[in-house]
């Protein structure tokens, strides 16, 4: 993979990270704590707080964070379906 491809991959991943407020909403809808997210991604809780305030994850953690948010969305949807 060329450096150009790596840059495009990183930019694509960044585009997949929702706005900070949406990241928090997703986490809360799944009833996950910031500590849960931090543990799952392999960062400190302080990092998650920063991400939810608009300072997105660095390139080392962005892939794991995007995947986790997708899983948390599914969990939130399951919770919503039980309420019906």
The architecture of the domain spanning 3-83 is: Orthogonal Bundle (1.10)
Residues 19-51 have pLDDT tens digits of: 999 999 999 999 999 999 999 999 999 999 999
Angular region, 33: left φ>0, alpha ψ -120 to 50, beta rest: beta
Query: Is residue 10 over pLDDT 70?
Result: yes
Does pTM top 0.85 for this prediction?
A: no
d(CA 10, CA 78): 30
């Amino acid at each position: 993979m060329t450096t150009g491809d790596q840059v495009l991959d990183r930019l694509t991943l960044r585009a997949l990270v929702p706005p900070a407020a949406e990241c928090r909403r997703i986490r809360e809808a799944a009833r996950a704590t910031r500590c849960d997210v931090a543990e799952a991604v392999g960062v400190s809780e302080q990092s998650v707080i920063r991400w939810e305030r608009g300072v997105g994850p660095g390139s080392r953690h962005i892939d794991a964070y995007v995947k986790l948010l997708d899983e948390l969305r599914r969990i939130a949807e399951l919770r919503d379906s039980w309420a019906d």
